[in-house]
Amino acid sequence: MPDDHVFRMMLRALSGNVPANIESFISRGLAMIQTPYLLFLGDAPDQLAAKVAQGIKDWRPENAVGQFRMAGCGADVGLADMTLEEGIAAGAKTLVIGVANRGGFISDAWKEVLVKALQMGYDIASGLHNLLRDEDALQAAARVNGQTLFDVRIPSVAYPIANGVKRTGKRCLAIGTDCSVGKMYTGLCMDAEMQKRGMKTTFRPTGQTGILITGGGVPLDAVIADFMAGAVEYLTPDNDDDHWDHIEGQGSLFHVSYSGVTMALIHGGQPDALILTHEPTRTHMRGLPDYDLPSLEALRDMALPIARVANPNCQIVGIAINSSKLDDAAAAAYIAEVEGRMGLPTTDPFRFGAGKLVDALDGL
């Protein structure tokens, strides 16, 4: 059943103002954000606060025409500075909030810009905790102008319950010894490497940042328990036999706060290939000071029987190390040690390229 937001999108389609991607939107039910974007950096205090905008610039530069910065902005993702008018002239369809908001609320200074953007014909997309739709001024301006507010933290689709039916095409999923060890980057790196090689590939986001980078996906951590695996099935439909989905990983089987989300990803995603990911300097599980990290061996031994419930042919094909806290020599030594110990192709795909991991998919 289409919810309010989907209904508005359909209305817009009927009234002739059809987004380029409306057909895939309707057939897949994914809330596709229209590209290209103008990236809103607002008054970001520093570069770190502009992580989302940086991700878009790094991974889908073709999705952004420029950046919009307000007085006092301390971030710069290296795109052309544009006014809202210049963004429109350059073809921008959506203003994407590429920055965390100070104090966790949407300031009056921001609101003034955002309302003006809606009046000029931009949609707005945001992964902020506080929702655009909860701001009366933005709701009103969007309604009057027929524009859409995308709060990508909130599911916009009534996902089905998973049916477990085997789908065509291939799927790869990165799973981690902990949360935030580089699963999204691993998927993005492998997708980019496959694109470079002219292979059929799609990155399938399951979190806010990934959704904003590509324009669509499933905010899995916000889905109702019974529909998690179904949402992942929905995200990664039947495809060509030689097409790879790189599904963005979430949580960890060993992280007691979020392991259920990881489980649903593995069983809904029915991956053909798993990549183990690890950050070697972590001293305990993220946010859980009493919990040690598991070894890569323990992760392998737990994950493979779980994955084979949904896909008996699943293989663990490689290991991605997040070596960002090691110098070059230490990173190379650590990777060589793991590769020897585990007998699996091992690299830091962000630092040294994902070629080794893509090679490892060969023959699956």
CB of 154 to its own copies, least distance (A): 10
Identify the residue among 222, 332, 342, 364 touching its own copies (CB under 8 A). Answer: 222
> Which residue lies nearer to its own copies by CB, 98 or 210?
210
Identify the residue among 42, 215, 217, 230 touching its own copies (CB under 8 A). Answer: 230
Identify the residue among 162, 321, 335, 338 touching its own copies (CB under 8 A). Answer: 162
> Which residue lies nearer to its own copies by CB, 87 or 269?
269
> Which residue lies nearer to its own copies by CB, 129 or 325?
129
CB of 244 to its own copies, least distance (A): 21
From 1-9, 24-32, 69-77, 162-170, span contacting its own copies (CB under 8 A): 162-170
> Which residue lies nearer to its own copies by CB, 84 or 220?
220
Residue 164 near its own copies by CB under 8 A:
yes
Around Cβ 129, how many Cβ atoms within 10 Å? 12
Per the structure block, which two tokens stand in for 18? 């059809």
Distance CA 136, CA 115 (A): 11
> Which residue lies nearer to its own copies by CB, 25 or 254?
254
Site map 174..213 versus its own copies, x via CB under 8 A: ----------------------------------------
Site for its own copies, residues 72 to 131, rule: CB under 8 A: none
Residue 306 near its own copies by CB under 8 A:
yes
64 and 37 in contact (C-beta within 8 Å)?
yes
Apex CA 41: angle with CA 62 and CA 68, to 5°? 65
Residue 42 near its own copies by CB under 8 A:
no
Identify the residue among 144, 256, 330, 333 touching its own copies (CB under 8 A). Answer: 256
Identify the residue among 96, 179, 310, 357 touching its own copies (CB under 8 A). Answer: 310
Residue 304 near its own copies by CB under 8 A:
no
Site for its own copies, residues 122 to 161, rule: CB under 8 A: 161
Identify the residue among 73, 264, 326, 358 touching its own copies (CB under 8 A). Answer: 264
Residue 302 near its own copies by CB under 8 A:
yes
Per the structure block, which two tokens stand in for 33? 């954000």
Q: How far is CA 326 from CA 296, 330, 333, 350, in A?
A: 18, 6, 10, 13
Apex CA 360: angle with CA 359 and CA 361, to 5°? 90
> Which residue lies nearer to its own copies by CB, 65 or 266?
266
> Which residue lies nearer to its own copies by CB, 88 or 302?
302
DSSP 7-49: HHHHHHHHTT---TTHHHHHHH---PPPSSEEEEEET-SSGGG
CB of 181 to its own copies, least distance (A): 16
The three-class DSSP label of residue 320 is: strand
218 and 231 in contact (C-beta within 8 Å)?
yes
- Residue spans of beta strands (DSSP E) within 70-209: 94-97, 123-126, 149-151, 170-176, 200-204
The three-class DSSP label of residue 190 is: helix
Q: State how far Cα 329 lies from the chain centre.
A: 31
Backbone φ and ψ of 3, nearest 5°? -85, -175
Contacts of 220 (CB under 8 A, 6+ apart): 206, 207, 228, 231, 232, 250, 261, 264, 265
Around Cβ 98, how many Cβ atoms within 10 Å? 32
Identify the residue among 261, 276, 331, 358 touching its own copies (CB under 8 A). Answer: 261
Residue 25 near its own copies by CB under 8 A:
no
Residue 305 near its own copies by CB under 8 A:
yes
Site for its own copies, residues 270 to 289, rule: CB under 8 A: 270, 285, 287-288
Backbone φ and ψ of 287, nearest 5°? 80, 0
Site residues (vs its own copies, CB under 8 A): 161-166, 220-226, 228-230, 253-254, 256-264, 267-268, 270, 285, 287-288, 290-291, 294, 298, 301-302, 305-306, 309-310
